[in-house]
Structure 1
Amino acid sequence: MFRNLRPDAVLVQAVIAGALSFAHLHDLAAAAGQDGWKAWAYPVSVDLLLVAAWRRMRTDAANRDAWLWFAIALIASLGANVATAGMLDLHDVPPWLRILVAGWPALAFLGGTLLAHAPSPEPCPEPEPAEQPAPPDLTVERVPEPAPELPSAAPQDIGLEPTPTPTPTAPAVPVPPALLDHARKIADAHHAQTGAPIDAGTLRTRLGVPAALADSIALQLA
């Protein structure tokens, strides 16, 4: 564990600067009449308020209170450093400085309480994915399959009487109901115009179906 620790120039500089600022705050507090452990508590209070305000600024940059308390703590730290650099006689501290040092604990307590109980910023809600419109229902009409053509009758031998073909009572090719209804409408219109029933050839031309299917439809319409 200790072998992984390496000297860092930034860390060393931060430790030195923190120690000097801590000592200056202690000396100023002691000169203002705060002796004993109280003089050591002042630098801790100033530095903790500075850190608390900085952390609140990082989580909520728009919080003006955090910026205000950060500026107050920074001014207190810089003021102690300047005052102990020969700008002020520590053996004869003015009354207004004693008042500021004596009132600092209450001011730091107020700032720390406000920073601790400040509401945290609410995270921005993620945008909901836009709903894609449902594809329209497509109804595909199935084209009826062409019926196989009926085999032609074999020629009769000469001298023999042809055998009468029985009249079919049912269509040889199945007809879809929708196609049959459409053919019936065409047959009714043809009968209304010509006064005669429609034949299989006309049905085949009007419907665009094979001859066998047109014959089957004509049988059902007869």
Structure 2
Amino acid sequence: MSRTLRLDAVLVQAVIAGALSFSHLHDLALAAGQDGWKAWAYPISVDLLLVAAWRRMRTHTGNRPAWVWFVIALAASLGANIATAGLLDLDHVPAWLRILVAGWPALAFLGGTLLAHAPTPVEVPDAPEPVSEQPTLAAQEPAPDVTVERAPEPEAAPELPPVPEPAPVPAVAPAPAPAPAMAVPPALLDHARKIADTHHATTGNRIDPGTLRARLGVPGPLADAITAQLA
């Protein structure tokens, strides 16, 4: 019941506001030189544009042009209410207001046409959720029990005695390479032979390479080569 009373109160307020706005728009159009039926057509034009913009906003959210034309129609209605409240001399209407009133029909026609033929935003449907595949009938039915006979396992071969591993062969060290023969000058060889004979005669022993090297003042390899030729 309270909802019905609230709706009736809103309806009464709408009727009062519409009637007063209609009357003010008529008086303003009449003062601007629009007499006869033309003065009555102006409030109808403003109210129709206001209703068309409102319906467009209700059915299509986020429609900016509908808001623009709604504000224009509302400004025309409120402007007429304020102008006829004693703030404007209706016997001497300014020229700019006469021009605005005279151009209103074309402006209202443009707004109504744009609202009626504005493209409707296309709503993109949400992507459908993937449908899980239903298992096939063959997958649902249990597989029949199948008994598989195993083939007889082959008999194990007799184990053979382990083969003894051969004894490791000791590695033989390579024989040292013979020293290359060094050429000894004949004069040096004769001098060395004299020293060796003197040493043998004095000590009774053969001269060794160390002593020969010290007597001759030659390197060790050359002394070894001379000693080998004196033997």
TM-score (norm 1): 0.62
What is the SS of the residue equivalent to 1:129?
A: coil
Q: Which residue of structure 1 lines up, in the alignment, with residue 89 of structure 2?
A: 89
Q: Which residue of structure 2 lines up, in the alignment, with residue 128 of structure 1?
A: 128
Length, aligned pairs only: 151
Q: Which residue of structure 2 lines up, in the alignment, with residue 142 of structure 1?
A: 145
Mapped partners of 1:140, 1:107: distance in 2:
80
- The share of aligned pairs that are identical, in percent, is 67
Q: CA RMSD in A?
A: 2.5
The CA deviation at 1:127 is 4.3
What is the SS of the residue equivalent to 2:131?
A: coil
Mapped partners of 2:124, 2:58: distance in 1:
17
Mapped partners of 1:13, 1:71: distance in 2:
20
Structure 2 regions of 5+ residues with no counterpart?
A: 159-231
Q: Please show how residues 71-220 of structure 1 align to structure 2 within 5 Å.
A: 71-135=71-135, 137=139, 140=143, 142=145, 144=147, 179-180=148-149, 183-184=150-151, 187=152, 189-191=153-155, 193-194=156-157
Q: Which residue of structure 1 lines up, in the alignment, with residue 29 of structure 2?
A: 29
Structure 1 regions of 5+ residues with no counterpart?
A: 145-178, 196-222
Mapped partners of 1:17, 1:134: distance in 2:
64
Q: Which residue of structure 1 lines up, in the alignment, with residue 40 of structure 2?
A: 40
Q: Please show how residues 31-70 of structure 1 align to structure 2 within 5 Å.
A: 31-70=31-70
Mapped partners of 2:56, 2:74: distance in 1:
15
Mapped partners of 1:81, 1:61: distance in 2:
30
Mapped partners of 1:64, 1:10: distance in 2:
27
The CA deviation at 1:94 is 0.2
Larger RCO, structures 1/2 (Cα 8 Å, 6+ apart): 1
The CA deviation at 1:83 is 0.1
CA displacement, residues 78-129 of structure 1 (integer Å, 9 cap, x when unaligned) = 0000000001000000000000000000000000000000112324425423
What is the SS of the residue equivalent to 2:130?
A: coil
4+ residue stretches of structure 1 with deviation over 3 A? Answer: 133-141
What is the SS of the residue equivalent to 2:154?
A: helix
Mapped partners of 1:58, 1:10: distance in 2:
18
The CA deviation at 1:140 is 3.4
The CA deviation at 1:135 is 4.2
What is the SS of the residue equivalent to 1:18?
A: helix
Q: Which residue of structure 1 lines up, in the alignment, with residue 167 of structure 2?
A: none
Mapped partners of 1:13, 1:58: distance in 2:
20
Q: Which residue of structure 2 lines up, in the alignment, with residue 220 of structure 1?
A: none
